[in-house]
Amino acid sequence: MTNYNTDTIQSKNNFGMNLYSLSYMQELLKLKRIKIKKDVDEINNELNHPKYLIITENFIKHNRILDPYASILTATLINTACLNLGYSPIGASFSMSVLNSDREQKEKEKIIKEFYKLIDSK
């Protein structure tokens, strides 16, 4: 994007999703990670703050992309909440899904540990 003329984009009337460079993603991986249910609860509590309603309203108002599952909105909300709380957004949605599942606690911990092990090995 460094060579793209972003002045031509009407950003005030559009909704987009955050994309991170590899170097920034490596910095984000240094932040705390979602590993326990308490982390999920903290993020969910953050997402209940009215400031996230603005993001949702902007998405509904300006989104021009067919997104029947609102995956762009979900990713934006979770990424924003994670960053506001000092969590890494990388793997956040995955970890939250695992921790909210009906699996045994030991299995949840194993899945998340293996997931982050794979990410760290890259």
Which string of DSSP letters, residue by residue, matches 47-116?
Answer: HTSTHHHHHHHHHHHH--S--TT-HHHHHHHHHHHHHHHTB--TTHHHHHHHHTSSS-HHHHHHHHHHHH
The model's pLDDT over 90-122, given as tens digits with 9 standing for 90+, comes to: 999 999 999 999 999 999 999 999 999 999 886
The residue-averaged pLDDT of 45-55 equals 92
Residue 11 lies in a domain: no
Give the whole-angstrom CA distance, residue 107 versus residue 67: 32
Confidence of residue 62 (pLDDT cuts 50, 70, 90): confident
Residue 54 lies in a domain: yes
Residue 15 lies in a domain: no
Give the whole-angstrom CA distance, residue 19 versus residue 24: 10
Give the whole-angstrom CA distance, residue 35 versus residue 57: 30
Q: How many domains does the chain have?
A: 1
- Give the pLDDT of residue 1: 47
User: Which residue range(s) make up the domain with 115?
Assistant: 36-120
Q: Let me know how long the chain is.
A: 122
Phi-psi region of 91 (alpha: psi -120 to 50; beta: other; left: phi over 0): left
Residue 3 lies in a domain: no
Using the predicted structure, report yes or no on whether residue 83 has a pLDDT greater than 60.
Answer: yes
- CA distances to 3, 70, 101 from 92, in Å: 31, 17, 14
pTM for the structure as a whole: 0.80
Residue 85 lies in a domain: yes
Residue 41 lies in a domain: yes
- Give the pLDDT of residue 54: 87
If we measure between CA atoms, which residue out of 117, 41, 120 comes closest to residue 85? 41
Residue 13 lies in a domain: no
Confidence of residue 8 (pLDDT cuts 50, 70, 90): very low
The residue-averaged pLDDT of 24-35 equals 94
Residue 42 lies in a domain: yes
Q: Which residue has the tokens 């934006």?
A: 76
